[in-house]
Chains A and B, each alone.
Chain A
Amino acid sequence: DQQVKQNSPSLSVQEGRISILNCDYTNSMFDYFLWYKKYPAEGPTFLISISSIKDKNEDGRFTVFLNKSAKHLSLHIVPSQPGDSAVYFCAARAPWGGSNYKLTFGKGTLLTVNP
């Protein structure tokens, strides 16, 4: 059961344009959503997050939007740069007893930004 879904395996955009990566989830217990970026042969690195009580969080060129009623979030990158080319993972956090949490990841979307 995929609780976090990234239905687009890949996305290609031109440098300078907007990249929009989408993510859907099914578990209403998720309280935080995170985006991770992964280059080949490296581990994922944290990019940006959003609390379930907010609908937007912005950090420089990266903005994450959350539509809780639709159980949908998206990551916008504006303007896109060739160095943004990577796999982007959507992740959702759920409580796991006490102060512990569990992150559930989607399959990732490969973003290619063409010069």
Chain B
Amino acid sequence: DTAVSQTPKYLVTQMGNDKSIKCEQNLGHDTMYWYKQDSKKFLKIMFSYNNELIINETVPNRFSPKSPDKAHLNLHINSLELGDSAVYFCASSQPPILAANTGELFFGEGSRLTVL
């Protein structure tokens, strides 16, 4: 009963393909995120989603989050490029004002995407 789960864990694909990474959380959190960890090891936020897109950092529009319901936030990537190779982390949180916490993120295990 993993709190935040991502599939697939590993994905190897060719340039130009379209792929998706799925994310599900069973914590009842309102907000979900996608982070990217590239070869330089920075964890950079890509998207934050709570019923609507809240944060959309400067990622190419080839990347799009899709949320079928509150427990899921999937990441779709079109026309994959070599530079998209990275580890993608899904996360969820409760707003700090509701949970009386710092709004810390709960991360999934990550999905390693390799584009050949």
Q: Mark A34-65, 1 if CB is under 8 A from B, else 0.
A: 10000001111110010100000000000000
| Chain A residues near B108 (CB-CB < 8 A) | 43
| Inter-chain contact B104/A46, CB cutoff 8 Å | yes
B102 at the interface (CB under 8 A from A): yes
Q: What residue in chain A is nearest B98 (Cβ atoms)?
A: A99
C-beta contact mask, A62-101 vs B, less than 8 Å → 1, else 0? 0000000000000000000000000001000100110111
List residues 72-108 of chain B with CB under 8 A from any CB of chain A.
89, 91, 95-98, 102-108
State whether B105 touches A46 (Cβ < 8 A): yes
Q: Does B7 contact A (CB under 8 A)?
A: no
The CA of A103 and the CA of B102, in the complex, are separated in Å by 10
What 0/1 readout, one digit per residue, does chain A (93-115) give for beta carbons within 8 Å of chain B? 10011011111111110000000
User: Which chain B positions have C-beta within 8 A of A104?
Assistant: 45
Q: What is the chain B residue whose CB lies nearest that of A100?
A: B54
Q: A106 — nearest CB in chain B belongs to which residue? A: B42
Residues A46 and B54 in contact, CB atoms below 8 Å apart: no
- B interface residues, tally (CB under 8 Å): 28
**Contacts A99-B96, A100-B31 known; A93 to B55 CB distance under 8 Å?**
no
Question: Is A44's CB under 8 angstroms from B107's CB?
Answer: yes
Inter-chain pairs besides A89-B43, A100-B50, A106-B42, 19 sampled, C-beta below 8 Å: A2-B42, A32-B103, A41-B110, A43-B107, A44-B105, A44-B107, A96-B48, A96-B54, A96-B55, A97-B54, A101-B95, A101-B103, A102-B48, A103-B45, A105-B35, A105-B42, A107-B41, A107-B42, A108-B43
* B residues with CB within 8 A of A: 4, 31, 35, 40-45, 48, 50, 54-55, 89, 91, 95-98, 102-110
The 6 closest A-B pairs by CB, nearest first: A43-B107, A105-B43, A46-B104, A99-B95, A49-B102, A107-B41
| Sample (18) of A-B pairs whose CB atoms are under 8 Å apart | A34-B102, A34-B104, A41-B110, A43-B89, A43-B91, A43-B108, A44-B107, A45-B107, A46-B106, A49-B102, A49-B104, A51-B102, A96-B55, A97-B54, A100-B48, A100-B55, A101-B95, A108-B41
